[in-house]
């Protein structure tokens, strides 16, 4: 079975205890995210995570203070990557509004593919805990930035104006987010980003 990492963990109020090699905080986080995605965060206990890792519950607490701490770190990863990607797109001063929107669609796909478990978890949180509510608030900020990019492209006459930009934003980024339902971690992120952007901008219809 898997074993605890080396390195001396310090439990709150306890003496330093030497762990066994095999896990570090990052690998515990990976396993936790997969477990949360598989059986749901609410339905997953620290005991479940310990069993999955082949550890005792007290060994888990060498690595992480709580289940919620793992959730927060996972959601931070997804939200941080998405925010950074939009910052980078927004900083491209030479982009037209349409180019910016296309870049935002592509960047969203690339982040999703590159951080698939964390983004999947983010898209499933329902706000049942303070950590989830905080993540939902940050996600709403990101959704608003994306909606603003759609609106700017519509205002510039660069995209169709017969559909409410907010609805466009929800549908296009809903399509992006739906990738979490079937994408495999080894997916070709850049090619997929091109495919999604092509479908979003040009649609299904064959243009002869």
Which range binds a copy of itself by CB under 8 A, 19-27, 46-54, 78-86, 164-172? Answer: 164-172
> How far apart are CB 52 and a copy of itself at their closest, in Å?
15
Site track 50-89 with a copy of itself (rule: CB under 8 A), x = hit: ----------------------------------------
**d(C-alpha 117, C-alpha 95), whole Å:** 31
Sign (positive/negative) of CA torsion 120, 126, 132, 29?
negative
Is residue 10 classed as helix, strand or coil in its secondary structure? strand
Is residue 20 classed as helix, strand or coil in its secondary structure? coil
Interacting residue with a copy of itself among 155, 167, 188, 190 (CB under 8 A):
167
* Closer CB to a copy of itself, 96 or 195, in the complex: 195
* Closer CB to a copy of itself, 23 or 100, in the complex: 100
For 169, other C-beta atoms within 10 Å of its C-beta total: 22
Interacting residue with a copy of itself among 1, 94, 182, 185 (CB under 8 A):
182
Q: CB of 60 within 8 A of CB of 28?
A: yes
Helix axes 97-114, 189-202, angle to 10 degrees: 140
**d(C-alpha 86, C-alpha 82), whole Å:** 6
Is residue 33 a contact point for a copy of itself (CB under 8 A)?
no
Q: Which residues are near a copy of itself by CB under 8 A?
A: 38-40, 42-43, 101, 124, 126, 128, 153, 157-163, 167-168, 170-172, 174-175, 177-179, 181-182, 195-196, 198-207
């Amino acid at each position: 079975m898997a074993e605890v990492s080396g390195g001396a963990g310090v439990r709150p109020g306890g003496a330093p205890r030497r762990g066994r090699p095999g896990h570090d905080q990052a690998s515990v986080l990976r396993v936790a995210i997969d477990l949360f995605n598989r059986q749901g965060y609410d339905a997953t206990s620290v005991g479940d995570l310990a069993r999955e890792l082949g550890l005792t519950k007290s060994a888990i607490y060498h690595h992480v203070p709580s289940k919620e701490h793992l959730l927060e770190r996972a959601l931070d990863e997804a939200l941080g990557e998405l925010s950074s990607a939009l910052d980078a797109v927004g900083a491209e001063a030479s982009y037209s509004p349409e180019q910016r929107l296309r870049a935002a669609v592509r960047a969203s796909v690339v982040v999703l593919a590159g951080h698939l478990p964390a983004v999947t978890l983010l898209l499933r949180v329902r706000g049942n805990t303070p950590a989830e509510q905080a993540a939902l608030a940050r996600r709403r900020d990101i959704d608003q930035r994306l909606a603003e990019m759609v609106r700017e492209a519509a205002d510039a006459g660069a995209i169709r104006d017969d559909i409410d930009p907010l609805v466009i934003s929800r549908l296009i980024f809903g399509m992006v987010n739906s990738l979490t339902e079937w994408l495999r971690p080894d997916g070709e992120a850049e090619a997929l980003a091109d495919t999604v952007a092509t479908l979003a901008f040009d649609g299904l219809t064959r243009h002869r």
